[in-house]
């Protein structure tokens, strides 16, 4: 597909279907005021003013994909518990299909509850099981993925090390996508870092890159960074490696060239969820076969945009488009590697 402008690219996003595989969770927030210390223990007493539950983990990637105009197809596992029912209701409220969600009788639905007073984060309570899926659950999820992948233009692996993504699942899904010519993009974590052999695009952050390869280097030294990413590409046989470098932007090493895209200067409120936005934009660009440097530039811009907002929020497509126009990303990167 030949796309001749930024407008055509953003319109083409609307026709894409994206299969997202990974660990889903509920992000819960309790907001209130602290005006006294408990007489029972030296801890603050919070008077609750508001409670909120949001889609998190791989489901936040689905929200980003949806916000960009594409159709998310989410495959994951939740518990057969009240939180699992809440998760399904949140998906339905958002208009996201629940077809790919498997219910487990042996696992909890992952829930992260944050207790907030004003701008102060007082406490986080995590309910989760992060052991790998049981054999029958793994089998059911793989079968569901193979059924849904027929509809997909691109596949995202969104790994949070909670056990949904197993080595067997990775191997079978990548084999299926390679057979069908569907690109795969990966947002990895430590446990399965070196298992994604043959994926199309691999997107670790700098810390994950160092831990995954068990190496240390100075990322400010371009030669050392290039060597590390080259080693990564060789080890997992990926054609494209996109490394997020926090305040230094992103670096991409592809079969069409290497590019370092600096971060844009902006006021940072919260970096939570930025990686979800980056992988979502990268996946859509990969599905459209955009030049790697343009893919990296758009993903870098989107990741920075969501950092201007408190909490985990999906990208605003119109804002991304307007900033991409302002920075002339298409003109600067559409013909480069």
- Give the pLDDT confidence score for residue 273 in this predicted structure: 63
| CB atoms inside a 10 Å sphere around CB 305 | 19
Task: Compute the Cα dihedral for 270, 27, 63, 333 and give only its sign.
Answer: positive
Higher pLDDT, 158 or 1: 158
pLDDT digits (tens, 9 = 90+) for 200-234: 999 999 999 999 999 999 988 889 999 999 999 99
pLDDT band at 265 (very low <50, low <70, confident <90, very high): low
**CATH number for the domain harbouring residue 192:** 3.40.1190.20
- State how many domains the chain has: 1
Examine residue 48 and state whether it is found in any structural domain, yes or no.
Answer: no
Higher pLDDT, 173 or 329: 173
Section 280-306 average pLDDT: 93
- Give the pLDDT confidence score for residue 204 in this predicted structure: 96
Residue found under tokens 């060239």: 257
Residue found under tokens 């233009």: 153
Section 28-33 average pLDDT: 93
Examine residue 113 and state whether it is found in any structural domain, yes or no.
Answer: yes
Q: How far apart are CA 94 and CA 108, in angstroms?
A: 22
Q: Report CA-CA distances (Å) from 79 to 222, 314, 322.
A: 45, 25, 41
Structure-block tokens of residue 244? 């997020």
Examine residue 138 and state whether it is found in any structural domain, yes or no.
Answer: yes
Examine residue 35 and state whether it is found in any structural domain, yes or no.
Answer: no
Examine residue 66 and state whether it is found in any structural domain, yes or no.
Answer: yes
Strand 71-79 with 201-202, pairing: unpaired
Higher pLDDT, 74 or 315: 74
Asked if pLDDT for residue 269 goes beyond 50, the answer is: no
What count of residues does the chain have?
Answer: 337
Examine residue 41 and state whether it is found in any structural domain, yes or no.
Answer: no
Print the domain residue range for 111: 6-26+56-333
- Give the pLDDT confidence score for residue 308 in this predicted structure: 62
pLDDT digits (tens, 9 = 90+) for 83-97: 999 999 999 999 999
Asked if pLDDT for residue 312 goes beyond 80, the answer is: no
Examine residue 49 and state whether it is found in any structural domain, yes or no.
Answer: no
Q: How far apart are CA 206 and CA 185, in angstroms?
A: 17
| CB atoms inside a 10 Å sphere around CB 29 | 16
pLDDT band at 327 (very low <50, low <70, confident <90, very high): confident
DSSP 263-328: PPP---S--TTHHHHHHHHHHHHHHTT--HHHHHHHHHHHHHHHTTSSS-----HHHHHHHHHHTT
Examine residue 172 and state whether it is found in any structural domain, yes or no.
Answer: yes
DSSP-assigned beta bridge partners for residue 12: none
Asked if pLDDT for residue 239 goes beyond 80, the answer is: yes
Residues labelled as active-site residues? 276
- Give the pLDDT confidence score for residue 270 in this predicted structure: 47
């Amino acid at each position: 597909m030949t796309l001749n402008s930024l407008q055509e690219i953003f319109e083409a996003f609307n026709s894409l279907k994206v299969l997202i595989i990974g660990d889903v969770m509920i992000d819960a927030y309790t907001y209130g005021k602290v005006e006294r210390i408990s007489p029972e223990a030296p801890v603050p007493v919070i008077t609750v003013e508001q409670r909120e539950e949001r889609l998190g983990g791989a489901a936040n990637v689905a929200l980003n994909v949806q916000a960009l105009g594409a159709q998310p197809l989410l495959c994951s596992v939740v518990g057969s518990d009240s939180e699992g029912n809440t998760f399904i209701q949140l998906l339905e409220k958002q208009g996201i299909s629940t077809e790919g969600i498997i219910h487990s009788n042996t696992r909890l639905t992952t829930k992260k509850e944050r207790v907030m007073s004003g701008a102060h984060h007082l406490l986080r309570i995590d309910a989760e099981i992060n052991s790998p899926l049981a054999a029958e659950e793994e089998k059911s999820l793989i079968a569901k993925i193979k059924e849904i992948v027929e509809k997909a233009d691109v596949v995202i692996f969104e790994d949070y090390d909670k056990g949904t993504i197993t080595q067997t699942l990775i191997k079978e899904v990548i084999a299926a996508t390679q057979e069908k010519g569907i690109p795969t993009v990966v947002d990895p974590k430590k446990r399965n870092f070196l298992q994604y052999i043959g994926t199309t695009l691999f997107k670790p952050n700098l810390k994950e890159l160092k831990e995954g390869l068990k190496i240390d280097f100075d990322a400010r030294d371009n030669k050392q960074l290039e060597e590390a990413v080259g080693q990564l590409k060789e080890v997992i046989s990926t054609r494209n490696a996109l490394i997020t470098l926090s305040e230094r932007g992103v670096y991409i090493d592809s079969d069409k060239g290497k590019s370092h895209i600096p971060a844009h200067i902006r006021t940072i409120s919260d970096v939570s969820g930025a990686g979800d936005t980056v992988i979502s934009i990268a996946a859509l660009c990969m599905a459209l076969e955009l030049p790697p440097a343009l893919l990296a530039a758009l993903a870098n811009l989107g990741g920075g945009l969501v950092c201007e907002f408190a909490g985990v929020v999906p990208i605003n497509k119109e804002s991304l488009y307007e900033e991409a126009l302002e920075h002339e990303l298409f003109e600067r990167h559409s013909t480069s590697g």
